[in-house]
């Protein structure tokens, strides 16, 4: 039984202001869920359900769910939505809101660390550079301090987010 | 251009037109006036109606009298039903209001108000607009409105913007399938409802409840419905699914209901009378009958001239020229006309039709799923091998005859899987499928056969669980 007595009905607006403007247009047809490639793979993941929880003001339940991090941002839902809700954008908004409160999966801080240190998420080796040269692109060196400078603030902001200590809360 | 204007020789379908007016209390003035305006004569049965056969423009009613039974030739039947505000819904404490009773000076600040709209009838855009406006007013004055409605889509100029505004400003607009349960909780009312998306119960306590008044069904209606072969809802009146609002039509062509369709959208009495007389005139007005050539051609093609197809089409894509003509550009391919045609003369041309034809030609066994084309293919692929699934352009394509034919071919169980009624691409397709299945079930029951062998499952395109559940498979 879901009790709505203490639901936070301003949550839909919060999500809209964070970039998920479409969320309040949803009438629950389920087209997003029907086309979602993640839904059949991940137990419990259902974009339509998440939107419903947002509209029912279940702020805590939504933001603490590891499920919001499952979206592969393939935009299938965006393509089929008759109301232009774009769950992908709603998902970004949810992730941003969750990070602001320090609710993010452990993998995320590792990724930010990699990005700010090396400027990319994976190592550039000889193999990658050979491919780049074949494609007519200049080779890249591992030295990418420029990115590090650009992204220095990112890691800091993630660490300073409230609740960062319990950053595991988001799962992975 | 009206279908019934033009040169040629007007030919009445039936010269002496009587309109039988049924209802409780004195003869309904609206119904009588409409009958006169349409060129007919209003009559009331002097005795109990016990039999009813024929087709629009040529009905025969059997009335039980002191001397035995009389046969009454009729053009049409009007059920004159009256609305009654309030009643069954009000929770014991009496904190509920009908929409019409809302005080404009009401103080909304700091309170929670639930508004229930459209549970008795499909609320038209006009009525939904009023409900949304009330919701916004409550918000502006510092209250919290919770709006519950059974339909999902809100179409109409400006409505969608209001709908968004209401949600973004902290109100709730949500679709639920059935009326919420209401219990008093001190000064407040606790609403409990089944959330169709979360598949779990949700509850909220509010200070006030505002709802559309449920219409009152006359006590005689249940037996009348059986005699007139009307689909009836659980409240004993012509099923709200089949009463087009505000057009006074019931599920049986040629039988109309006046008012009583709901109180969702107020219709001026005069407007209602005009609407009804217009429908009656279309049915049988001697001044506007079909041209004789058209009539002969239609008779040759065994068309019953009942115009059911014209009325059935959700987008008015059917015009009339020596019989029904489907305008391909406007047609949604939903096939509701073909399902409703009593003479089976509408032959749809779309590709799914072949699948249906093949299905009808072969013996069958086990379970059969007739699914709306919007339902995710993977869900149907996930059915066990013994179950056969056919995708149609729309579940509304399934007609009563087809269901019985398929059963006679050997299928043990037929499930008609449709979209949610409020979410049907062909507007009324899902509801029609529901009506067809309910009618078939009633007939099966009468024949002493388990009606459970035919079922209607409305689901969102990805809700395989619901479909599998209906087939007794459980889980995904």
pLDDT in tens, chain B (476 residues): 233 333 333 333 444 678 888 876 667 777 888 888 877 788 887 778 888 876 666 677 888 888 888 888 887 888 876 554 433 444 444 456 666 677 778 888 888 999 888 776 555 555 677 788 889 999 999 999 999 887 766 655 667 788 888 888 888 888 888 878 888 888 888 889 998 888 889 999 988 888 765 555 556 667 777 777 776 665 666 655 444 444 456 666 677 777 654 444 455 667 778 877 877 776 654 433 333 344 444 545 667 777 778 878 887 777 766 677 776 666 777 888 888 887 777 776 666 778 888 888 888 888 999 998 888 888 888 888 888 898 888 899 998 888 998 999 999 999 999 988 777 778 788 888 998 999 899 989 988 999 999 999 988 777 777 788 888 775 44
Check: complex ipTM more than 0.85: no
- What is residue B155's predicted lDDT score, i.e. its pLDDT? 55
Pick the more confident residue, B448 or A172. B448
Q: Which residue on chain B is closest to A24 by alpha carbon?
A: B164
Pairwise CB contact (< 8 Å): A16 & B168 = yes
- What is residue B352's predicted lDDT score, i.e. its pLDDT? 72
- What is residue B248's predicted lDDT score, i.e. its pLDDT? 55
User: What CA–CA distance (Å, rounded) separates B457 from B463?
Assistant: 10
| Residues from chain A contacting residue B162 (CB–CB below 8 Å) | none
User: What CA–CA distance (Å, rounded) separates A133 from A11?
Assistant: 50
Under 8 Å between Cβ of B205 and B114: no
User: What CA–CA distance (Å, rounded) separates A16 from A30?
Assistant: 20
User: What CA–CA distance (Å, rounded) separates B39 from B23?
Assistant: 21
Candidates A28, A36, A57; nearest CB to B152? A28
Pairwise CB contact (< 8 Å): A55 & B172 = yes
Any chain B CB within 8 A of the CB of A40?
yes
Q: What is the mean pLDDT of residues A120-125?
A: 77
- What is residue B213's predicted lDDT score, i.e. its pLDDT? 58
- What is residue B104's predicted lDDT score, i.e. its pLDDT? 77
| Residues from chain A contacting residue B186 (CB–CB below 8 Å) | none
User: What CA–CA distance (Å, rounded) separates A79 from A68?
Assistant: 19
Q: What pTM was estimated for this model as a whole?
A: 0.54
With a CB-CB cutoff of 8 Å, which residues 121-150 of chain B face chain A? 144
Q: What is the mean pLDDT of chain A?
A: 83
Alpha carbons within 13 angstroms on the beta-carbon side of residue A53 total 23
């Amino acid at each position: 039984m879901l009790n709505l007595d203490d639901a936070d009905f301003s949550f839909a607006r919060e999500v809209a202001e964070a970039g998920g403007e479409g969320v309040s247009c949803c009438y629950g047809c389920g087209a997003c869920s029907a086309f979602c490639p993640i839904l059949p793979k991940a137990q419990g993941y259902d974009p339509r359900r998440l939107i419903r929880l947002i509209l029912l003001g279940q702020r805590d339940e939504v933001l603490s769910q590891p499920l919001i991090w499952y979206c592969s941002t393939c935009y299938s839902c965006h393509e089929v939505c008759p109301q232009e809700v774009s769950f992908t954008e709603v998902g970004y908004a949810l992730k941003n809101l969750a990070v602001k409160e320090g609710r993010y999966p452990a993998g995320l801080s590792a990724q930010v660390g990699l990005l700010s240190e090396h400027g990319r998420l994976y190592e550039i080796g000889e193999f990658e550079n050979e491919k780049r040269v074949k494609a007519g692109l200049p080779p890249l060196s591992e030295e990418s301090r420029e990115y590090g400078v650009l992204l220095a603030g990112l890691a800091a902001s993630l660490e300073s987010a409230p609740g960062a200590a319990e950053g595991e809360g988001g799962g992975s | 251009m009206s279908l019934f204007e033009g040169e040629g020789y007007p030919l009445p379908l039936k010269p002496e037109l009587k309109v039988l007016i049924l209802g409780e209390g004195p003869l309904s003035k609206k119904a009588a006036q409409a009958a006169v305006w349409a060129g007919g004569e209003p009559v009331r049965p002097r005795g109990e109606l016990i039999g009813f056969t024929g087709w629009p423009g040529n009905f025969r009613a059997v009335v039980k009298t002191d001397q035995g039974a009389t046969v009454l030739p009729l053009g049409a039947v009007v059920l004159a039903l009256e609305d009654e505000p309030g009643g069954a819904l009000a929770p014991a404490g009496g904190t509920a209001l009908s929409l019409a009773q809302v005080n404009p000076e009401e103080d909304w600040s700091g309170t929670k108000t639930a508004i229930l709209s459209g549970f008795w009838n499909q609320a038209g855009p006009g009525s939904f607009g009023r409900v949304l406006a009330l919701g916004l007013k409550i918000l502006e004055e510092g209250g919290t409105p919770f709006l519950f409605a059974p339909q999902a889509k809100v179409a109409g100029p400006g409505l969608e913007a209001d709908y968004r505004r209401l949600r973004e400003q902290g109100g709730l607009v949500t679709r639920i399938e059935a009326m919420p349960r209401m219990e008093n909780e001190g000064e407040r009312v606790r609403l409990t409802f089944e959330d169709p998306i979360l598949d779990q119960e949700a509850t909220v306590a509010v200070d006030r409840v505002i709802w559309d008044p449920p219409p009152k069904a006359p006590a005689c209606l249940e037996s009348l419905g059986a005699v007139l072969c009307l689909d009836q809802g659980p409240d004993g009146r012509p099923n709200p699914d089949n009463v087009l609002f505000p057009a006074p039509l019931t599920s049986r062509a040629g039988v109309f209901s006046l008012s009583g369709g709901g109180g969702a959208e107020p219709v001026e009495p005069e407007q209602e009378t005009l609407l009804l007389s217009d429908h009656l005139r279309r049915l049988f007005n001697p001044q506007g009958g079909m041209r004789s050539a058209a009539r002969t051609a239609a008779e040759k093609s065994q068309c019953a001239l009942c115009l059911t197809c014209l009325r059935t089409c959700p987008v008015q894509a059917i015009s009339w020229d020596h019989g029904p003509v489907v305008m391909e550009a406007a047609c949604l391919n939903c096939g509701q006309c073909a399902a409703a045609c009593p003479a089976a003369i509408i032959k749809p041309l779309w590709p799914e039709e072949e699948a249906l034809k093949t299905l009808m030609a072969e013996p069958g066994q086990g379970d059969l799923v007739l699914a709306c084309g919007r339902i995710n293919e993977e869900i149907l692929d996930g059915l066990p091998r013994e179950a056969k699934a056919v995708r149609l352009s729309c579940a509304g394509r399934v007609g009563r005859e087809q269901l019985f034919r398929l059963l006679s071919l050997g299928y043990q169980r037929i499930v008609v899987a449709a979209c949610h009624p409020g979410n049907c691409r062909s507007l009324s397709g899902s509801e029609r499928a529901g009506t067809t299945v309910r009618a078939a079930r009633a007939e099966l029951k009468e024949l002493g056969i388990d009606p459970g062998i035919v079922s209607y499952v409305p689901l969102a395109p990805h809700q395989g669980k619901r479909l599998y559940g209906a087939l007794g498979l459980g889980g995904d």
